[in-house]
Amino acid sequence: MKLPDSALSNPGARLSWLLILIVALGAFASRVPRLSLRPMHTDEAVHADKFGDLLEAGDYQYDPNEYHGPTLNYFTLISARLSGARKYTEISEVTLRIVPVVFSALLIGLTVFLARGLGVATIPVALLVAISPAMFFYSRYYIQETLLVCFTFGAIIVGYRYAQTKALRWAAVAGVFVGLMHATKETCIIALGSMALAWGLVVLIGACRGRPWRTALQGVRPLHLVVGLATAIVVSAVFCSSFFSHPRGVLDSYLTYANYFSRGAGHDTTHVHPWYYFLHMLLFARYAGGPIWTEGWIVLLALVGAAVAVRGRPLGKIDATFVRFLALYTLVLVVVYSAIPYKTPWCLLSFLHGLILLAGVGAVALVTWLRQPAAHAVAVALLVAAAAHLAWQAYRGSFVYQADSRNPYVYAHPTDDIFTVVDKITDYVGIDGVGESVPIDIVCSGSDYWPLPWYLRGYAVRWSSEIPAEVGPLVVISAELENALSRRLYVETPREQIRMYMYLFDDPYYVWFRPQVKLVGFVRKDLSDHYQQRPDPAALLEGQRDQATGQTGDAVRPQ
């Protein structure tokens, strides 16, 4: 996309673009630190495992039942290559999570191209995307949502540009973004359907106000629609077919909707929530005496922006018709996502971005409408306070409560105790071949052991949902399986073969894997004794240092 030359000569516009660039770079810089701080979510670990096949074997096959589209995997190849990783064991959380971070910054940068439609409102829009707690939190998540929102925004920008110019090139570029949307996540049809319905309603409203509906179609040629649709299909097909190495993926990318319609209808009750789930999360959330979380500032400003759409009057260089489209588009998204029983919290990003676009308009409207100096000053002060409060919550959500269930954006998430599990297992790896020739046993009810496969990807591990017939020297199990393990070790095993096992974890003897899910670890006593008798690594290092300096025991005072 290219900015118009006439706009480039406008000093005010250049300043706006510079500010947006600064916000985008600041957002990137604030999201990058400590990307490995939060434990990997199950979904992140599963996506990482899927990416491992692509990295090592160049193999990716679109699965119509799980994993969503392949764009996340293919864009991750870039970060993996830049980091020098060639094997699954060589990638890190940073390698993976940097991808949505980059697209989050790109999402902000794209705001520049809406200068014609939103005018100066692009600046508060960029800022709100940067500091929204949900946007910040999930931009550090290795899932498809941030990419989907970015491509959706690109489609809206280019669609608006096409509506202004009716140029064939914009129809083709719009097709590129729509194709990327489809190749990213199946829920793209909700956004595309909302766009189509919003555009139809805008045309209908215009007709009711005396503007013939045919004027909205002036300049639109069938060729443009064909080119746009063909481009979208080709772009999606390139990714879903794994660059034409798996043609079946193209068909599966459309057949998959039978599966997702069933899931969305609530047939899978695992993630079924009431209609107000998302709104409750955004407006006011507090759990177990934790802090209060709210993005109500954005919702309130969005309502003001919606008022601009209803009035339909010019507001500086803001296109009131385009704002009306955004208001209707966002309203449809909110209604649809609220009505679908199947809900995961990151899905709110799609309509939250729409709310932010309206909120940027609302911020400008408040400052413009309140002409009295005192009222104007109060409005500016409230906007600054709102921005500071959102930024503070964004920081706490990602760096203080990053894995705390009292954070509304933390969902079915492993606790920080998972690092204790990994560290304890790592301590024993290599002793008598454990984790190498002798597998570590991880036994969790219902095979609910993710994301441990990510953290233990370099070790020999035997994964199971039932206690194995022969238990290895190191085993981690779901707490409810402890009695079954005791029977296997001390009742079902012949007396002469019974071996004593010790608790792996310190007091308490269990760890919280995720809320209401405990893990218990056991290590065979002879292995534990072997571990206890190992030389202290710190002492070995000190001894090597003494040897290097020619010292033994106490330091020798120079003569």
Instruction: Spell out the SS3 assignment of 305-355.
Output: HHHHHHHCCCECCECHHHHHHHHHHHHHHHHHHHHCCECCHHHHHHHHHHH
> Residues 138, 28: one domain?
yes
Same domain, yes or no, for 361 and 484? no
What confidence score (pLDDT) does residue 210 get?
67
CA distance 518 to 526: 25
In a domain, 149, yes or no: yes
Within-domain flag for 555: no
Whether 376 and 443 map to the same domain: the answer is no
The range of the structural domain enclosing residue 88 comes to 5-399
Contact 409, 415 (CB under 8 A): no
Structure confidence at residue 5 (pLDDT): 46
Residues 73/54, Cβ–Cβ less than 8 Å: yes
Last residue of a domain, one of 399, 434, 453: 399
State the SS3 of 262-306. Answer: HHHCCCCHHHECCCCHHHHHHHCECCCCCCCECCHHHHHHHHHHH
Shared-domain flag, residues 248 and 389: yes
Is residue 59 within 8 Å of 38, Cβ to Cβ?
no
> What value does the CA radius of gyration of the chain take, rounded to a whole number of Å?
28
Query: Could you give the angle at the alpha carbon of 413 between the alpha carbons of 94 and 467, nearest 5°?
Result: 105
547 domain residue, yes or no = no
Residues 258 and 379 in one domain: yes
Compute how many other C-beta atoms are within 10 angstroms of the C-beta atom of residue 38: 22
Looking at the structure, tell me whether residues 495 and 461 fall in a common domain. Answer: yes
Where does residue 208 rank: exposed (0-12), middle (13-18), buried (19+ CB within 10 A)? exposed
Kindly state whether residue 404 falls inside one of the protein's structural domains.
Answer: no
pTM here is 0.91
- Which pLDDT score, from 0 to 100, does residue 263 have? 65
CA 530 to CA 416: how far, in whole Å? 28
Each of the 559 residues of the chain gets a pLDDT tens digit; together they read 555 444 445 666 788 889 999 999 999 999 999 999 999 999 999 999 999 999 999 888 988 887 889 999 999 999 999 999 999 999 999 999 999 999 999 999 999 999 989 999 999 999 999 999 999 999 999 999 999 999 999 999 999 999 999 999 999 999 999 999 999 999 999 999 999 999 999 988 877 776 766 676 777 899 999 999 999 999 999 999 999 999 998 998 898 888 777 665 656 667 899 999 999 999 999 998 899 999 999 999 999 999 999 887 878 889 999 999 999 999 999 999 999 999 999 999 999 999 999 999 999 999 998 888 888 899 999 999 999 999 999 999 999 999 999 999 999 999 999 999 999 999 999 998 999 999 999 999 988 999 999 999 999 999 999 999 899 999 999 999 999 999 999 998 888 888 999 999 987 889 999 888 999 999 999 999 998 887 665 554 566 555 555 544 333 233 2
Count, residues in the chain: 559
At residue 483, the pLDDT reads 93
- Whether 411 maps to a domain, the answer reads no
Cα(554)–Cα(352) distance, integer angstroms = 65
Q: Are 455 and 422 in contact (CB under 8 A)?
A: yes
Q: How far apart are CA 554 and CA 559, in angstroms?
A: 15
Q: Are residues 353 and 428 in the same domain?
A: no
Verify that 324 and 452 share a domain, yes or no.
no
Co-location of 44 and 150 in the same domain: yes
* Residues 393, 436 share a domain: no
Q: How far apart are CA 356 and CA 350, in angstroms?
A: 10
Structural domain contains residue 185: yes
Q: Which residue has the tokens 């969902």?
A: 411
3-class DSSP state of 520:
strand
Nearby residues of 198 by Cβ (< 8 Å), 6 or more positions away: 325, 326, 328, 329, 332
User: According to the model, what pLDDT value does residue 372 have?
Assistant: 87
438 and 387 fall within a common domain: no
> Could you tell me if 431 and 336 lie in one domain?
no
Distance CA 101, CA 24 (A): 11
Query: Into how many domains does the chain fold?
Result: 2
Q: Distance between CA atoms of 460 and 440, rounded to whole angstroms?
A: 6
Cα–Cα distance, 434 to 421 (Å, whole number): 15
* Distant-in-sequence, close-in-space partners of 445: CB < 8 Å, separation ≥ 6: 465, 478, 480, 481
Count of other CB atoms within 10 angstroms of residue 559? 3
The pLDDT score that the predictor gives to residue 271 is 82
CA dihedral 376, 379, 383, 385 (to 10 degrees): 110
Domain contains 52: yes
Pairing of strands 517-524, 510-514: antiparallel
Res 212: pLDDT: 64
**545 domain-assigned:** no
Q: Cβ(327)–Cβ(306) under 8 Å?
A: yes
